[in-house]
Amino acid sequence: MRPPAVRLPGLPEQVTVYEVGPRDGLQNEPVVVPLETKLELIARLVRAGLRAVEVTSLVRPDAVPQLADADELLARLPLTPGVRHPVLVANLPSLDRALTMGVREIALFASATESFAKRNLNRSRAESLGVFGQVARRALREGLSVRGYISMCFGDPWEGDVDPAEVVGVATELFAMGCSELSLGDTTGVATPGAVRALLSRLVDAGVGLGALAVHFHDTYGQALANTVEALRSGVSTVDASVGGLGGCPFARSATGNLATEDLVFQLDGLGVATGVDLAALVRTSLWLARQLDRPSPSRTVQALATEFGP
């Protein structure tokens, strides 16, 4: 079934769905996924109409073993005109690898909190931002685009509630480095729409343009779609999501799955917001991936449409 398309006032005409499944989704899988499966997943996502697919991470293989095949994946990845294939990098050596592999867009992963910076990046927040500044400056000199992530924007397992001023401070530093897009992460899924609106308002007050922001909601408490609508009403038009709702964060145990791309596209179709994504092809991709992972997809939309679009 398809949702009835009824627009709500204040929503954008079009939304960019930024797919993080091949990187953020798979990185938390306990069993290593074969390279051929990863390449097929990316190809299926592109055929489904996604135009921004984050493909892998060039961090140390021992830190994220699932993505230890990043160099080989990039060497074999076909480039499709008009499709972004960002790659996460952590420092100058990983940027060197990205340049060697011909990467044209990188992503940097910062933290709003001191505790998570130390656990995830093994540096203080200030130290990590210093490293990212070096990476961004060199990447820009080489003609690359730079996306920034801020994790723990609403709540931190070790520090509790996060002061929006801390997020604003990190955001302004990342933009000053030259990031063209900044994704706000609800890593533990604790945000509700009021908190989303409050943070976005603080960022606007600090001079941050909403057109340069994306949102990245985890669905730990079932709030991701409600938070997405609030972000869109506030003026954001790029939303991160993960095929089949895969993912989490290997460095924060309370961070469960990402917002499922299928659930997002189903909602946006019902709101009359264009995404360019073929929901049927996307559901088929998730059903195929669930078979590769030998477990059902957590996406409610995939479950509901499995009979219609499977196998």
What domains appear along the chain, each with residue ranges and CATH number?
A: 16-309 (3.20.20.70)
Cis peptide bond prior to 311, omega within 30° of 0: yes
Confidence at 171, pLDDT banded by 50, 70, 90: very high
Q: Which residue has the higher pLDDT, 180 or 59?
A: 180
The CA distance from 99 to 153, in Å, is 30
| Confidence tier at 256 by pLDDT (50, 70, 90) | low
Nearest residue to 70 (alpha-carbon basis) of 103, 114, 43:
103
Is the pLDDT confidence value at 252 over 60?
no
Residue 247 has pLDDT above 60, yes or no: yes
Alpha helix positions (H), 124-223: 125-141, 164-177, 193-205
Size of the chain, expressed as the number of residues it contains: 311
**Contact criterion met (CB below 8 Å) for 309 and 301:** no
Catalytic-role residue among 203, 249, 259, 306: 249
pLDDT digits over 104-121, tens only? 999 999 999 998 888 877
Between the CA of residue 111 and those of 53, 115, 155, what are the distances in Å? 22, 9, 11
Per-residue pLDDT, 311:
61
Active site residue 179: no
**Mean pLDDT, range 139-157, rounded to an integer:** 96
What pLDDT does residue 248 have? 56
Over residues 50-61, the pLDDT tens digits come to 999 999 999 888
